[in-house]
Structure 1
């Protein structure tokens, strides 16, 4: 057995057997009926049982599914910066995280369209407990990050994940996607957790673990949804926090979030590649700083790149003006767009609860504040 068998995606040699295992699952049939509405069940099943690699599965079934999701639940996907990437080159993509499935699926769709290496992508094992979802995730080249661990078990799990990512990037020339923090950002206030970067560097054998980052190519990605399809599902957790209560997820909450993220209204979506952090990493590596301080500096750099590259939509500017009670950004949206946003908010949020209203608005407004801070930090005048 390989040391990675408990977390890795399937190998190509295992793909066909896995497909045959789930070919009659009602969830797969529902997915394919959505993806190929004019196709017969017999036709797509015949194509699927003759699929023998993960790439073919992704290109022939996952990619069309993502296109259909965009067609049905969005007003289109725009991109920027993919021309900075080279074919046959592995990158570590670190992004803000809004949606369980779509974030990495949209990235892979863009990589495929640009002739670039597809990713193996991190996913929390709490999201793939159901046998069908576990098999599907492995076919879609996901590797599992074990959640809910502590102490020695957490360290060993982190070491395994780090070693697997290093093997993918360096030995297999396979790009990797991971979020900048554990789980999705609930308040729109995107921040890279130093613990994620520490985990990545655990596989470096040399005395200075930070040197690991000089061996790989880190690419910060900004993912921007005009409307968050799961915004209303975050209300119970916000309420619990406001009462200083521990939030306990419902039995099917993760699955409902997954489903709502796929079918919920998103309006426009933008993915932005924010360069390759070669120069920045060399500069940090040369600094007379401790390992924790170097990781903090790298986290700050990733944050600034993601904030600066975030595509701000009318929803972000409207929420900012409503939250702060002013019209600072009134030139960035129309009266009709504001009316539509307020209608959506009033339908989803208990308008008698001021805390919930402010939390809802802050989720959309925080990217405006973060981008403003990033642009100020990187402006020429801030250097003096």
Structure 2
């Protein structure tokens, strides 16, 4: 069923089905879109592809056919495996949820989750995506055609309150009126060091559109944390490079070109094993909170509930254990990997470090930062057990 949205959502909502035809024609005619698509699929017959595109009459057609196929193509080429667990914890009546996950890859976190939710019969979510990634007009057309909604980031402090209220109202409308699930990252931007923490500002934004107390308002959104575990992060060397650039120049700000490179690197390169765990809806835990707590304390307590679900449900690979022992100079986890695993990770690490080009390259610092990326999820998991 098509989404009925009020006018004030028009600049952030996904396309409506009556806008699909024009959007597809605009994409087909766009040379940048064609160039990008050929980059991923060099042998495409553009005329045949254009006819296939024109056969899609609804967003559902586009998502379930072309977008699904494109994501699975990426998974087949760049992962050893893509798996999901916890499907039995999905609502049996397909009740809409707000899936909140840790954030590793700009494009693929939500894309991989959606194809797997589709495969298990739950259906795809609407996806929150930052306007900083709308680097070209065709990208915005594509993501809105693919049922994503836009999170405005590049606005003044004065505008931010209105923008956040509109976003919050849209999410609540989507869950409660349109009856569609949504995905949103637990924080603005990826956790570059993989030290995953839910930002209070995200929870405060979700609360804005409610008319009750914060606990009741968030319970209405059916928050469902998701733990994402990539064996290898193709962007690890780019993230490490950014850490040094920020260390050496506190004024350093990423450019649009940096975001584009991160998207491209994340999509096209090896990720090894990738696993998503559907943890569990947290409404029972929210209901047990003391609503008389001070608001910021409540926000911190809710963030902690989400974080603990994610920490508990990570999946670990030999590289995580090797990285922990290398970083701490111990053999605490030597029983979790063999010499071949260790050698493989050391070679991988050096290969990624060799990709970093900086005038004053601090290899020891960069190595530490990369080891932290593979160690922090394990550290948080262990701390959560104590």
Tell me, in whole angstroms, the C-alpha distance in 1 between the residues paired with 2:323 and 2:76: 26
Q: What residue is the counterpart of 1:106 in the other structure?
A: 112
Deviations 1:172-197 (A, max 9, x none): 11101100000011001000011100
Matches within 5 A, 1:329-344: 329-344=333-348
Which stretch shifts more, 265-274 or 141-150?
141-150
Tell me, in whole angstroms, the C-alpha distance in 1 between the residues paired with 2:40 and 2:352: 29
Q: Is the 8 A contact 2:114 2:124 kept in 1?
A: yes
Q: What residue is the counterpart of 2:210 in the other structure?
A: 204
Residue 65 (structure 2) pairs with residue 60 (structure 1)? yes
SS of structure 1 residue aligned to 2:29:
coil
2:366 pairs, out of 351, 356, 359, with 356
Deviations 1:318-364 (A, max 9, x none): 11110001111111122112111111211222696221111110011
TM superposition shift of 1:246: 2.1
Q: Is the 8 A contact 1:87 1:116 kept in 2?
A: no
Q: Is the 8 A contact 1:240 1:246 kept in 2?
A: no
SS of structure 1 residue aligned to 2:288:
helix
Tell me, in whole angstroms, the C-alpha distance in 2 between the residues paired with 1:42 and 1:87: 41
Matches within 5 A, 1:272-351: 272-284=277-289, 286-349=290-353
Q: What residue is the counterpart of 1:365 in the other structure?
A: 375
Residue 185 (structure 2) pairs with residue 179 (structure 1)? yes
TM superposition shift of 1:39: 6.0
Q: Is the 8 A contact 2:199 2:303 kept in 1?
A: yes
Q: What residue is the counterpart of 1:154 in the other structure?
A: 160
Q: Is the 8 A contact 1:32 1:44 kept in 2?
A: no
TM superposition shift of 1:251: 4.2
Q: Is the 8 A contact 2:241 2:366 kept in 1?
A: no
CA 1:36–1:236: 2 relative to 1, 3 Å: closer
Q: Give structure 1 stretches of 5+ with no counterpart.
A: 377-384
Q: RMSD of the TM alignment (CA)?
A: 1.8
Q: What residue is the counterpart of 2:231 in the other structure?
A: 226
Tell me, in whole angstroms, the C-alpha distance in 2 between the residues paired with 1:100 and 1:200: 21
Length-normalised TM-score, structure 2: 0.92
2:75 pairs, out of 70, 73, 78, with 70
Q: Give structure 2 stretches of 5+ with no counterpart.
A: 1-5, 355-360
Work out the number of aligned pairs and report it. 374
SS of structure 1 residue aligned to 2:100:
strand
Tell me, in whole angstroms, the C-alpha distance in 1 between the residues paired with 2:119 and 2:383: 33
CA 1:24–1:151: 2 relative to 1, 3 Å: closer
2:251 pairs, out of 239, 246, 250, with 246
SS of structure 2 residue aligned to 1:248:
coil
SS of structure 1 residue aligned to 2:9:
coil
Deviations 1:86-121 (A, max 9, x none): 353200000000011100001110111011132111
Q: Is the 8 A contact 1:96 1:179 kept in 2?
A: yes
Which stretch shifts more, 145-154 or 217-226?
145-154
Q: What residue is the counterpart of 2:3 in the other structure?
A: none
Q: What residue is the counterpart of 2:30 in the other structure?
A: 25
